[in-house]
Amino acid sequence: MLVLMARNLWRHPLRNGLTLAGIAVAMGVMVCIVSFGDGYRQALRGELDRAGVQMMLVPLGCPYDAAVRVLKNQTLENSLPASALVAVRRDPAVAVAAPLLMAALPRQNDRRTDLWVGLDDTALQLKPWWQVRAGQAWFNHAHDVILGSDAAALEMRVPGDKLYSPEIKQEFRVASVLNRSGTSDDSVFFVSLATAQQMFAQSNRLTAIAVRLKDPTLQREAATRLQRIPGAQVVTMTEMMGTFLNLLGAVRTLVLAVASIAMMVSALTVLNTLLAAVLERANEFAMMRAIGASRAQVFGLLLGESMALTCCGGVAGAGLALVAGSPIEALAKDWVPLTPGGSLLSISPSTVLPCFLLILGVGALAAVYPAWRAARLPPALVTKLG
């Protein structure tokens, strides 16, 4: 029976190839979308967990916007007074409070924007991925700069080199270069907090304060207390993650809806292909019936052919998703708000399997009508068609 199916499918390589291509593309899209959502959630959680930051103090303004910008290493238009840091550190529930000041420095000549971040040494406790590849561990002088791995590659500097910034008219010494971390930190120029405040004329101002609590379960109480600090607002990571996942959920539903349309269209193609097969092979089916095949067997043969076709399409689609996944991911990273560092696509059996079952189901559904028509052909037809 299987051989018969394969031989039948092989009779029209072009036709079945086209049908298969349609199924494969639909399947590929579906797998990518499903695994994208899963991967995004994992990567986001991983990034937030790794930092061990439970909340963030940002200046007033749209808190959502502010938190995204801080995570993506973009500057804010507003800033916090340094007094907020003192108030945060005085709070009994706070284990670590790391201030940071970010400033974007447009480089007219090179048509790019450098991001400078001022830190103090508390930041090290919140950045477990911070590893110095070469050079000294921390800033020794006011004009020391630590480069992220991409920034170092871009500036072609190694530790000990001089780095002159024409925009600020100041010369720096490269203290060290960091290992690649896969986060947005890779393209940053780090300086000490005091240096950054002086460089950008922001004395006693901060962009944000990242907070780790002694006991994460006390988050609610701590957030209420910290909320009272004038000029600052608290964004907790749980809240933020919830917001993102909500947004993502909405986007995913929309995308899945459009993708299922693609799947529906490919199912119609399968239906068409099978109908044509029934028409062409009417005398063949009649002959099978005449020599003793039951209706169920004829029905099963066509159903099997359709399943074999969708099965191949599904496998090809999963392969397509594996191959084309990473270029697509690179494209998607530019559009998605807040992209975590890790891989967004997690193509795993648990994401491929439901898609595969879905496409098999669609293939079976499309086969029902043609198979029913084939099974109903009267055996006597064979005498007419010859």
Partner 1 sequence: MNWFLFSTKEWRRRPLRTAITAAGVAIAVAAVFSLLMFQDGYRQGLSREIDRLGAHILVVPKGCPYDAASIALHGANWPCYLNSAYLAEISRSVGVLSAAPALMAAFNNAQGAATVYVGIDDRMLALKPGWRIDGSFPHGSGEILAGAEVARRHAWKVGGRVALPEIPGRRATVAGILQPTQGADDTFIYTRLEDAQQWFQHRGELTHILVRLRDANLLEPTVLALRGCTAGMDMNIVPLAHLFHTIQGLMNSTRVLLGCIALIGLLIAGTGVSNAVLMSVTERGREIGILRALGASRVQVFGLIWLETIQVCVAGGVAGVLLAFFSSHAIESWLRTRLPFAPTDSFLCWSWSWAVISVAGAAILGVVAALLPAARAAELAPLEAIREGATP
Of positions 187, 273, 310, 346, contacts partner 1 by CB under 8 A: 273
In the complex, minimum distance from the CB of residue 36 to partner 1, in angstroms, rounded to a whole number: 10
For position 335 contacting partner 1 by CB under 8 A, the verdict is yes
- Closest by CA to 116, choosing from 77, 160, 162, 165, is 165
For position 163 contacting partner 1 by CB under 8 A, the verdict is no
User: Site residues for partner 1, window 11-40 (CB under 8 A)?
Assistant: 12, 14-15, 18-19, 21-22, 25-26, 29, 33
63/341 with CB nearer partner 1? 63
For position 385 contacting partner 1 by CB under 8 A, the verdict is no
For position 206 contacting partner 1 by CB under 8 A, the verdict is no
Using CA atoms, how far residue 145 sits from 71, 168, 207, 286, in Å, is: 21, 14, 19, 83
- Closest by CA to 208, choosing from 193, 223, 221, is 193
Query: Which range binds partner 1 by CB under 8 A, 46-54, 181-189, 195-203, 238-246?
Result: 238-246
For position 317 contacting partner 1 by CB under 8 A, the verdict is no
For position 258 contacting partner 1 by CB under 8 A, the verdict is yes
Query: Which range binds partner 1 by CB under 8 A, 226-234, 286-294, 319-327, 348-356?
Result: 226-234
122: which strand partners?
Answer: none
Query: Which range binds partner 1 by CB under 8 A, 145-153, 184-192, 252-260, 344-352?
Result: 252-260
56: which strand partners?
Answer: 210, 235
Task: Tell me the site size for partner 1, rule CB under 8 A.
Answer: 52
29/352 with CB nearer partner 1? 29
For position 241 contacting partner 1 by CB under 8 A, the verdict is no
For position 383 contacting partner 1 by CB under 8 A, the verdict is no
Of positions 48, 93, 153, 262, contacts partner 1 by CB under 8 A: 262
In the complex, minimum distance from the CB of residue 372 to partner 1, in angstroms, rounded to a whole number: 13
Residue 92 identity = P
Distance CA 95, CA 272 (A): 66
For position 265 contacting partner 1 by CB under 8 A, the verdict is yes
271/355 with CB nearer partner 1? 271
CB hemisphere CA count around 320 (13 angstroms): 20
- Closest by CA to 122, choosing from 100, 106, 102, is 100
Distance CA 195, CA 353 (A): 54
Query: Which range binds partner 1 by CB under 8 A, 41-49, 122-130, 200-208, 247-255?
Result: 247-255
For position 231 contacting partner 1 by CB under 8 A, the verdict is yes
Q: With left for phi above 0 and alpha for psi between -120 and 50, is residue 73 left, alpha or beta?
A: left
- Radius of gyration of the chain, Cα coordinates, nearest whole angstrom: 31
User: Site residues for partner 1, window 183-202 (CB under 8 A)?
Assistant: none
In the complex, minimum distance from the CB of residue 126 to partner 1, in angstroms, rounded to a whole number: 23
Distance CA 228, CA 224 (A): 7
In the complex, minimum distance from the CB of residue 278 to partner 1, in angstroms, rounded to a whole number: 11
For position 93 contacting partner 1 by CB under 8 A, the verdict is no
For position 54 contacting partner 1 by CB under 8 A, the verdict is no
30/178 with CB nearer partner 1? 30
For position 247 contacting partner 1 by CB under 8 A, the verdict is yes
Q: Which residues bind partner 1 (CB under 8 A)?
A: 12, 14-15, 18-19, 21-22, 25-26, 29, 33, 60-65, 78, 227, 230-231, 233-234, 239, 243, 246-247, 250-251, 253-255, 258-259, 261-262, 264-266, 268-269, 271-273, 275-276, 279-280, 332, 335-337
